[in-house]
Structure 1
Amino acid sequence: MTTTAKIVSVKGREVLDSRGRPTVECELEWSDGNGERSGTVRAMVPSGKSTGGAEAKELRDGDPARYGGMGCLKAAANISGDLGKALIGMNPADQRAIDDKLLSMDTSPGKDKALIGANAVLALSMACCRAGAEALGVPLCRHINGLARTAVGGGEVKMCLPVPCLNVINGGVHAGNALAFQEFFLIPSGASSFAEAMRLGAETYAKLKKVIEAKYGKRDTGVGDEGGFAPNISSPEEGMSLLMEAIEGAGHGGKIELGSDPAASEFYSKEKGAYDLGFKCEEPNVKTAQEMVALYQRICGTFPMALLEDPFDEEDFESHAELTKVVGESVEIVGDDLYCTNVGRVNKGLEAKATNAMLLKVNQIGTVSESLDAWALCRKSGWGVFVSHRSGETEDSFIADLVVGIGAGHIKSGAPCRSERLSKYNQLLRIEEEVKGLPYAGKLFRTPWKL
């Protein structure tokens, strides 16, 4: 399908994310040129807290008198100004041309979008993608599927409904408890549909709240940035045991696997060259990389683990490779801070056989096309791709259509709680209803092309 639609106007504005911090929104008008069809779309950009050093750089105002320096008026002005004006008259369905134009305006020395703002660039890229789908008259996931087929070099890219990986226990820099690991997931891969997966996850989440209240008291059932609980625990085994108790108590044993994002860069000590599981405590609990491999092996042997994300520091390719070698056949080892959705870093990971999967966060790299390039490299290499939200989120549901369009097989968007998380899950429920015939990835979430 083709369209002669053109971008008519672009406006940027400062809005707030789920932490009450500023972010940017792009509002874009398109028209077919003869007045018969037109539309207005919006796109909002999330922001991370636990971020990789190689991520594309947001533009913040730096004015301490306003939002503690975190304002986004400069980024919003860039959307309304030079960046947006450069896109006027372009076809919103031509995603690659739009993203190439935006990238050509990146004059930052490290080509990390620091001067123009990765947040400004991404807002424009996502808005154009949404406008392109409208102009073509197709659902956003189908438009993205077409872009994915081109990115991978032609041929079919099977769309599917993803397995939701629900972050229901928080630690690390996302919580005030002593737990070093940042996230613990429920992975309902044994469900028969996405809707059933959400039901299993939501019922287990409700049961988990009761389990935590009975063990630690009502105070520990408050939720964090991503909707997960932060009970007063200190070891990953305690977190896994709580999840297993909730799964069994909810009657879903055998249908839900477990996963975790240790976000190990946050507790890696460069001075000691080791990992401190007590980094939030008075007493350190330092482990070498080899001891961490042994810890992960023990966890994977004790619990029904399906996924580990960022188990080592973002520059520790060697330890990632060692863990992948010993547990990678049964467990997906995902690189997040390790790769930052960056083709160059993924290539390094492929050479080192560091992991068997990549986390995809569109705001880590800054454009839809660059995200698709990283996905395509993984797909060609037989790696899994795990689509993710950020801890500072918005009500924008773009990644729900993205995960379906590229057939990635699994997504994390927090717990089944908080509207900025549920906006993605609810959009997936709509897609399941409206786009007929899409299979649920289920146990094949690592290799959805085999569906």
Structure 2
Amino acid sequence: MNALSIRSIHGRQIFDSRGMPTVEAEIVLHNGVRASASVPSGASTGRFEACELRDNLAEYHGKGVSSAVNHINTPIQEALVGESCDDQWTLDNKLMVLDGTQNKSKIGANAILAVSLACAKAAAKAYGLELFRYLGGLQANTLPIPMMNILNGGAHAGNNLEIQEFMIVPVGAHSFTEAMKMGTEIYASLRNCLKKKGLSTGIGDEGGYAPDLNGDEEALSLLMEAIQLAGYQPNYDVKIALDAAANEWYKNGHYIFPKLQKKITQSELKGYWEELCQKYPIYSIEDPFAEEDFPGFSELTASLGGSVQIVGDDLFVTNPDRLRQGISSLSGNAVLIKPNQIGTLTETLSTIRLAKEHGYGVILSHRSGETEDTTIADLSVAVNAGQIKTGAPARSERVCKYNRLLKIESLISGSEYPKK
């Protein structure tokens, strides 16, 4: 028996950062190596994402994952035991054939991804390699710029902000270590700003502060103030990134700001983004329109794409077919990569490769319901993505990714850092 062959696979239900059930898979090889991986869950999810299988029973408010776990322990284990863990394409293809559906609704993308990632981790350990090095080889040497979500709104917070994520991007940093210094100092300055103004310092799903404010522009002004109080220069040292999650705003053929209950046309929404980019040093706008509004993305890309990153998340859902549609219609110029949107490591890498071939920016991303799994940190370096979203520098399920990247930086001699 091949020492790298899979001896057993075990699935279990664990809990994510929102206290909701999720899936973990553990792989044991014949040489005794063990590795595990867990999958996150999103709050604002695109309709075209792979299926996150839930039990829909009374317990856990219908969010249990015992069926997904059972699929790991029986059909998946039966299909993969004896296979070599270092043949990722074969393993992932077997998982997709076993499921047999377009959106992985039979076995569940959560079950499939946990096993797919655990296999890669087991192979890396068996070869005595760090995961980023196993996946990316010698060319994996670029640390990503962190896009830190330090003010939460939308579906990630129970406040009155429409935009879901207000992020800082330390573009002036010369290393990941310096970027973390800048980000944590600005995060602390923002807390001081909020306290002085008598505003809440409670946090949302991704660790960012979630106060009630007089609209989204006040949030942007607070970010500018915090950047300056921390001793940095907006635009030169630090820029701002937004995740509108505008799919949450689209109802019955119209855009409606859900918290204000204000209707807005597609043209007016485009003008709104253009106005914000004139007033503030905005580096990136994610999901400025709904998941099927390719024309809206195309028009905004034509207008702002030369200076602003227009990111598709719900638009592309880490799916190469959706991304091809965007490429052909010139919709966006960057793609958010969330492995649980597509369900296997092989498909995730395929989407990244396609994006890079066509000059699209690549951003590895967490989900709002996270675990302590740090795979996306390694993956961001493996593919030289240059950017990562993994929340505020608060809460262990976010900070563990940052700490993993700090360790990776210390392991790579002569590591590179992108300049934006």
TM-score category (smaller protein): over 0.9
Conserved 8 A contact 1:333-1:355 = yes
Q: Deviations over 1:76-134 (max 9, x none)?
A: 111111112211111111111110110011133xx111110110000000000101111
Counterparts of 1:102 and 1:157, CA distance in 2: 29
CA shift at 1:4, angstroms? Answer: 5.5
Identity of aligned residues (%): 47
Counterparts of 2:265 and 2:139, CA distance in 1: 41
DSSP 3-state at the match of 2:340: helix
> In the comparison of the two structures, how many residue pairs are matched?
417
Q: Deviations over 1:300-336 (max 9, x none)?
A: 1111111000000000000111000011011110000
Conserved 8 A contact 1:93-1:135 = no
Aligned to 2:344: 367
Match of 2:297 among 317, 320, 326: 320
Aligned to 1:280: 259
Q: Mind listing any 5+ residue stretches in structure 1 that lack a counterpart?
A: 33-37, 147-155, 444-451
Conserved 8 A contact 2:3-2:29 = no
CA shift at 1:266, angstroms? Answer: 0.4
Amino acid in the other structure paired with 1:404: V
The alpha-carbon distance between structure 1 residues 206 and 393, as it changes in their structure 2 partners (threshold 3 A), is same
The alpha-carbon distance between structure 1 residues 113 and 234, as it changes in their structure 2 partners (threshold 3 A), is farther
Amino acid in the other structure paired with 1:363: N
Counterparts of 2:406 and 2:191, CA distance in 1: 24
Matching of residue 27 in structure 1 with residue 30 in structure 2: no
Amino acid in the other structure paired with 1:54: F
Counterparts of 2:140 and 2:28, CA distance in 1: 31
Matching of residue 81 in structure 1 with residue 74 in structure 2: yes
Amino acid in the other structure paired with 2:28: E
Aligned pairs (5 A) from 1:110-149: 111-146=102-137
Conserved 8 A contact 2:372-2:396 = yes
Amino acid in the other structure paired with 1:206: A
CA shift at 1:234, angstroms? Answer: 4.6
Structure 1, 228-237 or 82-91: larger mean CA deviation: 228-237
CA shift at 1:17, angstroms? Answer: 0.5
Matching of residue 221 in structure 1 with residue 201 in structure 2: yes
Matching of residue 393 in structure 1 with residue 370 in structure 2: yes
Amino acid in the other structure paired with 1:74: S
TM superposition score normalised by structure 1: 0.90
DSSP 3-state at the match of 2:133: helix
Matching of residue 199 in structure 1 with residue 197 in structure 2: no
Amino acid in the other structure paired with 2:192: K
CA shift at 1:74, angstroms? Answer: 1.0
Aligned pairs (5 A) from 1:341-352: 341-352=318-329
Match of 2:332 among 350, 355, 366: 355
Aligned to 2:161: 179
CA shift at 1:286, angstroms? Answer: 1.7
Conserved 8 A contact 1:188-1:255 = yes
Counterparts of 1:337 and 1:159, CA distance in 2: 29
Aligned to 1:153: none
Aligned to 2:57: 63
CA shift at 1:204, angstroms? Answer: 0.3
Counterparts of 1:234 and 1:329, CA distance in 2: 31
DSSP 3-state at the match of 2:310: strand
Aligned to 2:241: 259
Counterparts of 1:228 and 1:306, CA distance in 2: 19
Counterparts of 2:189 and 2:140, CA distance in 1: 35
Aligned to 2:10: 11
Counterparts of 2:263 and 2:84, CA distance in 1: 55
DSSP 3-state at the match of 1:221: coil
Q: Mind listing any 5+ residue stretches in structure 2 that lack a counterpart?
A: none
TM superposition score normalised by structure 2: 0.97
Counterparts of 2:196 and 2:222, CA distance in 1: 11
DSSP 3-state at the match of 1:363: helix
Q: Alignment RMSD, CA only? A: 1.3
